[in-house]
Structure 1
Amino acid sequence: MASLPRLLLIALLSVTRAALAAETPEQLALQGTAAAIAASPDDGSVLYNGACSAALAGRKAQALEWLARAVALDGVDAKRMAADPDLAALHGDPGWRPLLQVAQEAQARRERMWSSPALATPYRETLPEDERVAGLSKLWAEVKFNFVNFDRVPELDWDALYAQYLPRVRAARDTVAYYRELQSFASRLQDGHTGAFMPGEVFERVHARPGLTTLYLEGRVIVRAVFDERLRSLGIVPGWEIVTVEGQPVAEYAAAKVMPYFSWSTPQDKLSRAYERFLLDGPVDAAVKVGFKDARGALRELELPRMGVQARSAALPNAAPFEWKLLPGNIAYVVLRGFGDDRPAEAFEASFEQLSKADALILDIRDHGGGNTSVGLRILSTLTDKPFATTAWRTREYRPAYRAWGRGERSFRGEPKQVPPSGRFHYAKPVVMLTSPRTYSAGEDFAVVFDAMKRGTLIGEPTGGSTGQPLMISLPGGGSARICTKRDTYPDGREYVGVGVIPQVKVTPRLSDFRAGRDTVLDAAVRLLREKR
């Protein structure tokens, strides 16, 4: 009899082990999902993810129930649902096809509501007046209900501005002139993630540029690089100053012909876009007359041929999203120019064994135009052994009944997420990050999270001050627009949209250094790292 409790214990342990063995990762995930659905029963995304978890765990009936609830909330992308491998186990169930059809019909209704083909007309050289007015009206309405940064333009009367632009779009002589009016209209919002875009059919007539790049240094427009042999044959070299365009002083030309048609978020963003991006835009088949002053002060005026948009992009130097080299003093210098895909993070990790041998690391994001913020988080996760916070954010939460009751509009706030350290990679030595007004969007998110981590020092100039989630809309004539719907902040709520990320060590590039082949900001970073040793 004394052995009975022991046998019972063994039996109980065996049953427990069997039960634990049955708890697959999918089933464990399902338990967490069920709790999330109980907490948020009207959240379509939570229900959809729950359906995926249930399908993977073999709980088809549960999966279909949660999926049906998500569809009923109009919270499902039918194309994603049809192609989602997590839901493949449901395809043979009799309930799958009718449910997919309901989702497709709901999506079609949403698309008619928000993106009706009636206003997505094809390109024509001149659009009918009614289409032009409809396009302006669509942009006005979408901005009114979706734009997140109206508080940054408190004096703007959006309805009054709409009324001012109605006669202007009616008078537009052709589609290019019409889109110029839309761009001017959107630019009044002073937001770098909000603006109108020309139809692809006229891009070469509007956005072709000569084969050179420029920098705005000490209030002057300076040639940065020359990559068209036709321009090299004219004698143009880096360091020359642009003093006139089409016979006008460069500042006057930019103010009249460039600045009214693009969107910007900060003074530094406005100057960078005007003088470093759009200054010499125009037709591909027309040269632009540019007056130069060389390093000795001699003046000359030259006709610069423009390159097509695709040809210029292919010829643009220093365009790789990731590059690195070892500087004297065993300092790793990494250049990140964008997070358009996972390649920068993959290349960083692939180079990590060599990078990790360096005594210090410089991350240069001065020409980082943006992309997917998650790519930057992947890189930052290699610089710490602790979890770290992402940006916080907010978006408008418009409730029509609240407006009818005289109540103000609320914001939905997204709390910072915690990102775990990489685990595979950990660089624990000193790090600095270089910034400029050309640092933009996801590049700024990267700088903000790095700053909030207190992982190192930001050096250089304030960033462009624009990030967020754009809503893309189609417009008559084949063009489009985007509207910023999301306002990001530091994890603690500090603003950088409309301000820029401010470096702890401010360093302004000097023209004399550039002409001498020196990099003012990089040299300052190297000195700082050497002083820390």
Structure 2
Amino acid sequence: MKNQKNNLIAIILLLFFANTTFAQPTISDNQKLASLCKVWGFLKYYHPAVATGKLDWDQALVDHIKLLPAVGTKEQLSSFYIDWIKSLGDVPPCRSCENNLPDSLKRNLDLHWMDDKNIFTDSLSNVLHYIQLNRVQHNYYYAKFTRVGNVGLGNEKEYPGYIYPAAPYRLLSLFRYWNIINYFYPYKYAVGEDWNKVLDEMVPQFNDAADTVAYHMAMLRLVRKINDTHAFFGTDQLREINGKYRSPISLKIINDTVLVTGYYNYIVADKSELLPGDRILKVDGKDVGQLFKEKLQFTYGSNEVTLLRNVVLLLLRGHTGRLDVTYERRGLAATKQLKLYPLGDLKIDTAISKNGTWKMLDNNIGYINLRYLKPDKVDEAMVKFMNTKALIFDIRNYPYDVQNKLAEYIGYATKPPVKITVPDLAFPGVFVPVSRLKAIAPNNNVYKGKIILLVNEETQSHGEFLAMSLQNAPNVVTVGSQTAGADGDVVKIVFPGGYASYMSGLGVYYPDGRETQRVGIAVDIVVKPTAKGIIEGRDEVLEKAISIAAEVK
């Protein structure tokens, strides 16, 4: 009886340990692919044998994607990666690596995935952390500094003709972009969602994309995830969906209503078609509200105002040279057929004012439209307005690089106009402040009147940077509405197939550290166009600026 009891206990213990050994949880295909993305990208920018460009790292990824299905458990996956890392050779100790950095520089750095015990063993985590602490410090191949200080990614392979590549190369698209953002996007912390969860969401969309359009839509969705007005992405396939013809009529969304504001191109416009203030109801029989929802997935932007700015550019697109539009004017609805033009033939100018570079307004007030002011004309303009009591700079547009020339007359007071951060190539994911910009003292003929800046959602990138610089001068007020929230020189990111997108490449902040990305620049007096003002042909933002200037004694 005693022997039978002992035998029963032995059998129970054997079954317990057998279940423990053989019931190790497997890792899903998507989890394995996400882990491969992170390990591959980390080694690309950290490992001395990889970061210096000695290996075909794209091909290494493709090869390991093909091997991944044979891996089942956490232990197998970690061994898979450890063997790969060993094949790269030893990583020598780094005596120049600075690892004790303040948290303020590591806001974007996230290497916690290395310690995910659901995916990796301690042995692999230790290997990865050793590489982190002894990372490459020179001869970077995949990431280099450009002239302005942001990261240059010119050594990425383009793979021309890969319109709809096989799954490994579709995943290469995702993995390349995800890691570039992970290590070199200055505003990753501000994208609005966990970047690791973005990867988890996008892996099946790229891996399972059934056709060309599905793959291109996956690239577009990925790019939109960073919520950056610089993050344009377009392909012929996506343009075909929206139509390769457009109207020269400009639209604006005010209080959830789509209104005609004028024309992007007055040369080709038939002004009898629609008038400013007309309310768009339907396009080719489709309710404009439904059309708005459909087109929103194709737009990009740092904030709501730029999404609305960009989506209206798609509302009057079509596949032929004609488009039926139902509109309302003075309470009456009517339908007209609009003439459309090929995208490449229709030059678009989104500047609010197209009435020349500068003019003298009543009551000794000067006005300069920075959309048209070229650097070689700054002296002439400033001399003309030097004795005005107020000077209005219209930056509701994309200006020329006149910043330093204007500073000679206005100055940047006693401190640099902005604070800038750049990526630390010696520690990917870290961003450090730089002192590239200095205070510029004005010349002897300094402007002493009041300066008024006009801004809106068209104020973007260099326009925002210029506005921030001018705001640092004395006696300045900014009038208008939220700007595009996309500052810092752009970085080009290439997808396989030769497709490209962009990102803001520098961190740009006010001298006191205030944010601008997604937020826009600081506006002192908020003024927005109204439907009534559009119908009456008034520029209400400029009117407010003139009223402020008129009060100057």
- For the superposition of Structure 1 and Structure 2, which TM-score range results when normalised by the shorter chain? 0.5 to 0.7
Inter-partner Cα distance in structure 2 for 1:178 and 1:76: 28
Give the partner amino acid of 2:307: K
CA displacement at 1:122 relative to structure 2: 2.2
Counterpart residue number, 2:404 = 377
Give 1:445's match in structure 2, choosing from 433, 447, 465.
465
Give the partner amino acid of 2:326: G
Counterpart residue number, 1:253 = 291
CA deviation digits over 1:342-380, x for unaligned, max 9?
A: x623222233322224332111112x23665xx323323
User: Mapping of 1:137-152 within 5 angstroms?
Assistant: 137-152=175-190
Contact 1:179-1:196 at 8 Å conserved across structures: no
Inter-partner Cα distance in structure 1 for 2:268 and 2:154: 47
CA displacement at 1:398 relative to structure 2: 6.7
Inter-partner Cα distance in structure 2 for 1:441 and 1:397: 22
CA displacement at 1:74 relative to structure 2: 4.0
Contact 1:352-1:425 at 8 Å conserved across structures: no
Counterpart residue number, 2:148 = none
Contact 1:322-1:336 at 8 Å conserved across structures: no
Q: Is residue 2:218 matched to residue 1:181?
A: yes
Inter-partner Cα distance in structure 1 for 2:294 and 2:502: 24
Inter-partner Cα distance in structure 1 for 2:169 and 2:353: 39
Q: Is residue 2:548 matched to residue 1:523?
A: no
Inter-partner Cα distance in structure 2 for 1:322 and 1:419: 31
Quick check: 475-484 or 438-447, which moved more?
A: 475-484
CA displacement at 1:73 relative to structure 2: 5.2
Q: Is residue 2:371 matched to residue 1:333?
A: no
Give 1:297's match in structure 2, choosing from 321, 328, 331.
331
Give the partner amino acid of 1:510: T
Distance 1:282 1:133, change over 3 A: farther
Distance 1:417 1:228, change over 3 A: closer
Q: Residue 132 of structure 1 aligns to a residue in which SS?
A: helix
Distance 1:221 1:377, change over 3 A: farther
Give 2:201's match in structure 1, choosing from 139, 160, 164.
164
Q: Residue 538 of structure 2 aligns to a residue in which SS?
A: coil
CA displacement at 1:232 relative to structure 2: 2.4
Inter-partner Cα distance in structure 1 for 2:398 and 2:241: 22
Give the partner amino acid of 1:186: V
Distance 1:204 1:336, change over 3 A: farther
Counterpart residue number, 2:80 = none
Give 1:310's match in structure 2, choosing from 336, 344, 349.
344
Give the partner amino acid of 2:182: K
Inter-partner Cα distance in structure 2 for 1:233 and 1:457: 36
Counterpart residue number, 1:20 = none
Give the partner amino acid of 1:350: E
Q: As a proportion of its length, which structure holds more helix?
A: 1
- Unpaired runs of 5+ residues, structure 1, are 1-40, 43-71, 81-109, 404-408
CA displacement at 1:472 relative to structure 2: 0.8
Q: Is residue 2:381 matched to residue 1:351?
A: yes
Identity among equivalent pairs (%): 20
Counterpart residue number, 1:362 = 392
Counterpart residue number, 2:249 = 212
Q: Residue 420 of structure 2 aligns to a residue in which SS?
A: strand
Inter-partner Cα distance in structure 1 for 2:192 and 2:351: 41
Counterpart residue number, 2:481 = 461
Counterpart residue number, 2:155 = 115
CA displacement at 1:470 relative to structure 2: 2.4
Inter-partner Cα distance in structure 2 for 1:424 and 1:207: 53
Distance 1:320 1:524, change over 3 A: closer
CA displacement at 1:323 relative to structure 2: 0.9
CA displacement at 1:286 relative to structure 2: 5.5
Inter-partner Cα distance in structure 1 for 2:321 and 2:525: 43
Give the partner amino acid of 1:515: I
Q: Residue 315 of structure 2 aligns to a residue in which SS?
A: coil
Counterpart residue number, 1:503 = 523
Q: Is residue 2:283 matched to residue 1:263?
A: no
Distance 1:286 1:171, change over 3 A: farther
CA displacement at 1:241 relative to structure 2: 1.6
Distance 1:116 1:315, change over 3 A: closer
Distance 1:131 1:286, change over 3 A: farther
Contact 2:416-2:437 at 8 Å conserved across structures: yes
Q: Residue 434 of structure 1 aligns to a residue in which SS?
A: strand
CA displacement at 1:200 relative to structure 2: 10
- Unpaired runs of 5+ residues, structure 2, are 1-95, 98-136, 146-150
CA displacement at 1:233 relative to structure 2: 7.0
Contact 2:460-2:484 at 8 Å conserved across structures: yes
CA displacement at 1:76 relative to structure 2: 12
CA displacement at 1:433 relative to structure 2: 0.8
Distance 1:230 1:171, change over 3 A: farther
Q: Residue 349 of structure 1 aligns to a residue in which SS?
A: helix
Contact 1:125-1:174 at 8 Å conserved across structures: no
Q: Residue 180 of structure 1 aligns to a residue in which SS?
A: helix
Q: Residue 297 of structure 2 aligns to a residue in which SS?
A: helix
Distance 1:242 1:376, change over 3 A: farther
CA deviation digits over 1:376-418, x for unaligned, max 9?
A: 2332332249555221022444766xx9xxxxx6431124732
Distance 1:377 1:246, change over 3 A: farther
Counterpart residue number, 2:357 = 323
TM-score, length of structure 2 as denominator length: 0.65
Give the partner amino acid of 1:236: L
Counterpart residue number, 1:244 = 282
CA deviation digits over 1:157-213, x for unaligned, max 9?
A: x34433433443455566555333212112122222334343699689756421111
Give 2:453's match in structure 1, choosing from 426, 429, 433.
433
Contact 1:223-1:242 at 8 Å conserved across structures: yes
Contact 1:222-1:241 at 8 Å conserved across structures: yes
Count of residue pairs the alignment pairs up:
414
CA deviation digits over 1:467-489, x for unaligned, max 9?
A: 12322122222310213332211
Inter-partner Cα distance in structure 1 for 2:225 and 2:469: 30
Inter-partner Cα distance in structure 1 for 2:347 and 2:232: 22
CA displacement at 1:512 relative to structure 2: 1.0
Q: Is residue 2:258 matched to residue 1:221?
A: yes
Contact 1:365-1:443 at 8 Å conserved across structures: yes
CA deviation digits over 1:64-110, x for unaligned, max 9?
A: xxxxxxxx954899xx9xxxxxxxxxxxxxxxxxxxxxxxxxxxxx9
Q: Residue 514 of structure 1 aligns to a residue in which SS?
A: helix
Distance 1:197 1:369, change over 3 A: farther
Give the partner amino acid of 1:115: N
Q: Residue 346 of structure 1 aligns to a residue in which SS?
A: helix
